[in-house]
Structure 1
């Protein structure tokens, strides 16, 4: 078996552990300590996050905010589904992750970062939500492993009652907050409803086949 090779490491601002970018043949992985945050073999649920959110949009020129660049699967899945007048902003907290996207991970990202509809910000998505001047038609959060933050304590605030209230305020009328998670979380479902959002909870496959692990996507609409 081909051994894993560590290509680079990075510090997460405010985090407790180090990110490691690893490669084994054509497979890539981003690890946080002993936890695998993402793997290039498992793109199905990240792609579903994009598809399910966009299917629920009615705006002719939608504005999307994606929290977390990662391996780029959510961004890449968005672009073929959006019209030319759409705008997509990706907020990525870790500078190295953006550098990896144009370096060793360019094979995964393709030309998505050069799409004229796309803006990549080196920023905390929570700050982008709080500073919103115009309503987002969709906010897609693929941060940590979901509502249970792993990489930094600050991510917990995204999924708290206050964080969800801020996200609701940042959405345009009819806008959708879409949240990816590695596992179900009944408490988070209750917090979404308490924030005044109409909630759907969808279970999807982690990969692109009918087998393997399942992940959860919440789709919460602002009335």
Structure 2
């Protein structure tokens, strides 16, 4: 399908998911689906047949940004933030709602996801943030950006796949490897914070953060309706 052509099966099916857009991207198939209609509609992103995220809640994605900002000194003027993964846009929208943030950079490697925000239904969440002059969208692989970007950030807020313990797309695991975490540390300014969203707590990942040279490693939880809580892992680069 070309950008946001209407799927011939996009109609109300009594609560069953409806395909809004399906594309073959550089890393496989990505699908935008809708459940429900009108103000109660929920959109969800599926990658290579695996559910990634939806618009039903967003508390943990907002916590990702809030916790990172809270970990920075209040006297640091206009801190910059890199959001890794545009997703459904909750983290970006939260960052743009906070006047304390300075430069807001979002790295997203799937052009379809960017298109769903710029000219599709996910713009309902992100349109105001995308129009914010502080916001820049970079179409790139996050791991490559971490290792090659010419700038540093005060905060890295990473929401890739389902977290360090459960990656869907081949290659994303490299972000959480020793080399990937070292790259994240080097991409931070002194005293900067790394915040990583995960679908489940991981003591092993906390240990990996410490082994990569981070300080102040801790985990914040967000309870979910069923199952283990979503979490945000936090770690600091030495000042």
* Structure 1 SS opposite 2:77: coil
1:37 to 32, 52, 57: 52
Distance (whole Å) between structure 1 residues aligned to residue 43 and residue 207 of structure 2: 35
Residue 165 of structure 2 corresponds to which residue in structure 1?
Answer: 148
Unaligned runs of 5+ in 2: 1-13
Query: Counterparts of 1:83 and 1:51 in 2: how far apart (Å)?
Result: 11
Give the Cα separation in 2 of the matches to 1:192 and 1:185: 11
Q: Is the deviation greater in 30-39 or in 47-56?
A: 30-39
User: Equivalent residue for 1:50?
Assistant: 65
TM-score by length of structure 2 reads 0.85
Distance 2:179 2:213 in 1: 12
- Cα deviation for residue 10 of structure 1 reads 2.8
Is 1:158–1:164's contact at 8 Å kept on the other side of the alignment? yes
Gapped runs of 5+ residues in structure 1?
A: none
Scaled by the length of structure 1, what TM-score is found?
A: 0.91
Aligned to 1:221: 236
Q: Is 1:3 matched up with 2:20? A: no
The 10-residue stretch of structure 1 (173-182 or 108-117) with the greater mean CA deviation from structure 2: 108-117
Give the conservation status (yes or no) of the 8 Å contact 2:25–2:112.
no
Change (3 A) 1:82 1:205: farther
RMSD: 1.7
1:75 aligned residue (75, 78, 92): 92
Residue 196 of structure 1, CA deviation = 0.9
The structure whose RCO (Cα within 8 Å, separation 6+) is larger is 1
- Mapped contact 2:30–2:112 kept (Cα < 8 A): no
Residue by residue, what CA displacement relative to the aligned partner does 1:148-178 show, whole Å, maximum 9, x if unpaired?
3533221111000000001111110100010
Cα distance in 1 for residues equivalent to 2:94 and 2:157: 12
What is the aligned length? Answer: 216
Contact kept, 8 Å, 2:196 with 2:232, in 1: the verdict is yes
